[in-house]
Amino acid sequence: MHAASREALDNTRGALKSALASNPAGGATGATVGQELFQVVDVLEDNRSLRVAVADTSASVEARQDLVRGVFGWKIDQTTLDLLLAAVAQDWSNPRELRQGLITLGREALLRSADEQGQLQTVEDELFRLGRIVAGDAEFEQALADRTAETSAKRALLAQVLYGKVTAVTEALASQAIARPTGMPADDLMEISAQAAELRGRTVAVVTSAEALSEQQTADLAGRLKSIYGSEIAVHNEIDPALMGGVVVRVGDEIIDGSVAGRLDALRRSLR
């Protein structure tokens, strides 16, 4: 995202936080705003001329907002409309980045609704586990990633896996992610999980181990990583028996390989 769009997103995010803080309604407002922002994105994706017009910085703010009122004013809740008006009042670098900004805000609204219900960490963990499940099944991920398939069919396939197993917010976020993929489904799900962690003020550390970490091991590792990175850490644990022992830690683009397999591989390379 270009600098102008990042600033536009930050400004609109401030409007979202203020709107939800003044009218939390136990998470219902955030859920409504999130779902309706995705509906707005659907309309923009289907109408290129509208998508271009609402992001046209050569037009006045009033003209862009009047257009939004005319198209969406009677279709969405007032809180969602006010947020959309705030978004189009900003100077986005291009229509594509306005669309992406609205998706990001829709996700955040749903995540904040989970937070209001005390479910944010649960949603974060569910999205991470779902991402690993999808990544581990190439046929399933390919079916979800198929851009020639009907969105309704992909959502139905995902619903079969999720039914009764995750929170409503997790299901809504996962459903919208496969409807408008930006990358492979597993990566998109992991990105939303990381967004949830960021909302909790934490940096994600993906920790791969030969066996599942205990709660105490997880807490100890999070404490050590906090001393290294200077921020609270959300530890996401994945299992790979091939490591034999120890752990591999990935924080952003940085990898710390403390596994037995990693040390043996380093030893083999040193002997060549």
Residues 62-111: pLDDT tens digits? 999 999 999 998 899 999 999 999 999 999 999 999 999 999 999 999 99
**Weakest mean pLDDT among 136-140, 254-258, 259-263:** 259-263
Q: What is the token pair recorded at 87?
A: 């978004």
Closest C-alpha among 102, 99, 100, 105 to residue 47: 99
pLDDT score at 24:
66
Cβ neighbors of 33 (< 8 A, separation 6 or more) are: 16, 19, 20, 77, 79, 80, 83, 106, 109
Over 70: is that where the pLDDT of 15 sits? yes
**Weakest mean pLDDT among 19-23, 91-95, 225-229, 262-266:** 262-266
- What's the whole-number average pLDDT of the chain? 88
Cβ neighbors of 52 (< 8 A, separation 6 or more) are: 95
pLDDT score at 270:
62
On whether the CB atoms of residues 104 and 9 are closer than 8 A, the answer is yes
pLDDT score at 239:
87
DSSP letter at 63 equals H
- Rounded to 10 deg, the angle between the 120-135 and 138-145 helix axes is 110
pLDDT score at 263:
64
Rounded to whole angstroms, the Cα distance separating 248 from 235 reads 12
pLDDT score at 266:
63
pLDDT score at 130:
92
pLDDT score at 20:
87
How sure is the predictor about 250, in pLDDT bands with cuts at 50, 70 and 90? confident
Over 60: is that where the pLDDT of 229 sits? yes
Rounded to whole angstroms, the Cα distance separating 104 from 151 reads 20
**pLDDT-above-90 percentage for the chain:** 48
Mean pLDDT value of segment 107-117: 93
Q: What is the pTM of this model?
A: 0.84
